[in-house]
Amino acid sequence: MTSLHPGLIIILGAILAGILPGRLRQVTMVLAPALAIFAVFNLEVNTVWTIPFINNLELTFLKVDRLAWVFSLIFSIMALLGSIYSLHNENKGEATASLLYAGSSLGVVFAGDWLTLIFFWELMAVSSVFLIWYKGTAQSRKAGFRYILMHLFGGNLLLAGIFLKVSAGQPEIVSLTGTGDAAFWLILAGVAINAAIPPLHSWLVDAYPEGTVTGSVFLSSFTTKVAVYCLIRIFPGTTMLLWLGTIMALYGVVYAILENDVRRLLAYHIVSQVGFMVAGVGMGSELSLNGSTAHAYSHILYKSLLFMGAGAVIFATGKRKLSELGGLYKKMPWVTLFFAIAAFSISGLPLFNGFISKSMIISAAGYEHLPAAELLLYLASIGTFLSIALKLLYFMFFGEDKGLEPAKLPTNMYIAMAGGAFLCVLYGVAPNLLYNVLPYPVKYAPYALYHIIDTVQLLTAALIVFWIFLPKMATKMMISLDTDWFYRKPFKVLIHSLVAIVCWIREYLAVQLMRALKSTLPYFANPVKWAAQTVEGPKHEYNEDRYRFPVGLTVMMSIVVFLVTFSYILLA
């Protein structure tokens, strides 16, 4: 059978989802990503497709290696789960944006040249912003505007670096580790923004909580993981990324512990978990790069499931603050179960998929003799368990009953959550299903006894601390200022100042123009006034009988124009 590009299949499905009505749209939303999964399994490693482009360039719009294959598989699976979760949504535009977002992410993964990468990169940014705007609130419109500005800024940095590489005769995507030239820094900066590396990470925690219930599931799965894919491919072993990633892992956890908004808390944990992946890229060993790839794979499954569970609660109750939630386990038992599985997965408990991937990165730090990074990543892992598996899970489902009466959830939401929960457990108990498709051969045993003992000891200690300080862990209504304050406030002043300056210039020019107009109007009323003012003697005034052309001259000019026009028509 002829191979097909999985991303183009989903993009075609996005177009059809925006056209077809009712059931046909729902069938398309499921069929397109299902066919993409089939197409991924039908792709062979080392497959390369190119098309000719200008200036003797070739665009490599499909290049398959083991790294691209594993990312394409999880992106296609996520597109299917997200589409099933969204089937009840009647907004055709959102269905199109979701699938276009997923398809363009696959386009980046399979890109073999810089120009193809930037095309799908920008398409990803433009399509994803509608998943925020479709919520239709004032907050979502503002957050979406800030989101697209940040991504266009990052895209322009990436494009500038790509122009340097292509103009230097290097159109193919290659590793830039160790080059240190202008293209290296521009491309790294562009990718780092999408990876939400602090301090330019606030677009994520600003925008994702304001997305639609279904759109935020897609948002949590693609942009940052596409960035991780690019870091693995382009910047493996860049030492700076090790420490940036370690800082990310701790930074996101600290803010998550303080957070009251459910989806904003989960968004901070995207920052934290992507930090593990970035740190693995910075280490640069085969084990750490495998760990970053595996953790990106696992993260997409458990993080999308967390957003599905949170979205289900918001859909059913209309509440999104932990201080407004509690006691839902009796009224939403299946959602509680699925959310607990995702919470245990992100916390790295044994028998869940987060354990088999996160432990690879932490172990790689130990093997590379990086004790400081290993310790800090362990602390971030404990913080994750404390803030999600304990704080979020407890206060949302098992805390004080607030008397909420949840609305009935659509069946498709349960199906999608069940599918995500099943995969989280499946890969946790059978890690070789993932290990066998990673970029490098895997010689790692996650269920070694010492791994299990270390994990259980650390998480048990976190549980005891949480139980002792439970009253102090209760959520409160508060605002957590983030690094965006340091550039949003000055930019606000700058923009208001620029607007004021432009308005002043406009008003000044308008006044001067009116003065000039008033001074020249008399000359339109008296065309020879300027001459009259230069003549000595009595003042001359315009007299039409004195200065007008003779009638004969006017008639002659009319005849000449007529003859010339008539001759032109005949000769033409």
**pLDDT of res. 501:** 93
**pLDDT of res. 29:** 96
More confident residue, 486 or 180: 180
Predicted confidence (pLDDT) at residue 19 exceeds the cutoff of 50: yes
Q: What is the pLDDT of residues 154-186, one digit of tens each?
A: 999 999 999 999 999 899 999 999 898 999 999
**pLDDT of res. 530:** 60
Predicted confidence (pLDDT) at residue 497 exceeds the cutoff of 50: yes
**Per-residue confidence band for 549, with pLDDT thresholds at 50, 70 and 90:** low
Tell me the whole-structure pTM to 2 decimals. Answer: 0.85
Percent of the chain with pLDDT over 70: 92
Cα-Cα end-to-end distance for the chain: 62
Q: Confirm if 360 and 283 have CB atoms less than 8 A apart.
A: no
Mean pLDDT of 280-295: 96
Predicted confidence (pLDDT) at residue 548 exceeds the cutoff of 70: no
Mean pLDDT of 215-228: 96
Predicted confidence (pLDDT) at residue 45 exceeds the cutoff of 70: yes
**Per-residue confidence band for 478, with pLDDT thresholds at 50, 70 and 90:** low
Predicted confidence (pLDDT) at residue 544 exceeds the cutoff of 60: no
Predicted confidence (pLDDT) at residue 540 exceeds the cutoff of 60: no
CA 91 from centroid of its chain's CA atoms? 21
> 134-147 in b/e burial notation, b at 16+ Cβ within 10 A?
bbeeeebeebbebb
Count of H-run helices and E-run strands, the chain: 25, 2
**pLDDT of res. 54:** 85
Mean pLDDT of 77-99: 95
Q: Confirm if 127 and 97 have CB atoms less than 8 A apart.
A: yes
Percent of the chain with pLDDT over 90: 68
